[in-house]
Amino acid sequence: MRILIADDHNLVIDTISMFLEAEGDVTVETASSLDGAIDLVGRAAPFDMVVLDFQMPGMQGLDGLSRMLTTVPDVPVAVISGTASPQVAQEAIARGASGFLPKTLGAKSIMSAIRLMTAGEIFVPFDFMRQTDKKTVANLTERETQVLDGLCGGKSNKEIARDLELQEVTIKLHVKTLCRKLEAKNRTQAAMIAKERNLL
């Protein structure tokens, strides 16, 4: 079995590769960016599985997943992350990912998950998806609440986009929507309203 793991953290790559190759029938190739991974699948022998880190260079959220799926339409592609939410995992599956691997998952569980996905199954940890500690306020969605928290922290749209791993244009849309819901004229007033009402 040939597996490509793309992650910009050497420790993660080294650890996972060591455990996978200890299985005996697994060969691991690595890349540190999405472009590097796409280049590798284009010139190397076919892979049985591709695992992409959600936050590595070039990914741009789940757009990188879509690029890889277009590049290797017949190969299972999974997303791995130490910070992404259950909502991101759900969206990854909706976009065509074969699974989502939290970096907190044990090595044996990762190997089992990879074998499951290469067999054509979808893998998402049940306990991870049950996480419900995300807070929302007023009539705002979870994402709007996160954006509002960024506004109250004095962050720019670009900074909030980076924190939430979203496109800046998406943050602008969320700001516009939450301003309407809070009846605020602009982002500054929205932050003031949130503080006055102790929404966060």
16-52 pLDDT, tens digit per residue, is 888 888 888 899 999 999 999 999 999 888 999 999 9
Q: What is the pLDDT of residue 86?
A: 85
> Is the pTM value of this prediction over 0.85?
no
d(CA 82, CA 53): 9
Q: What is the pLDDT of residue 78?
A: 97
d(CA 55, CA 7): 8
Q: What is the pLDDT of residue 134?
A: 47
Q: What is the pLDDT of residue 195?
A: 82
Domains of the chain with bracketed CATH:
2-129 (3.40.50.2300), 142-196 (1.10.10.10)
Q: What is the pLDDT of residue 133?
A: 45
CB distance 72 to 44 below 8 Å: no
Residues of the chain with pLDDT under 50: 132-134
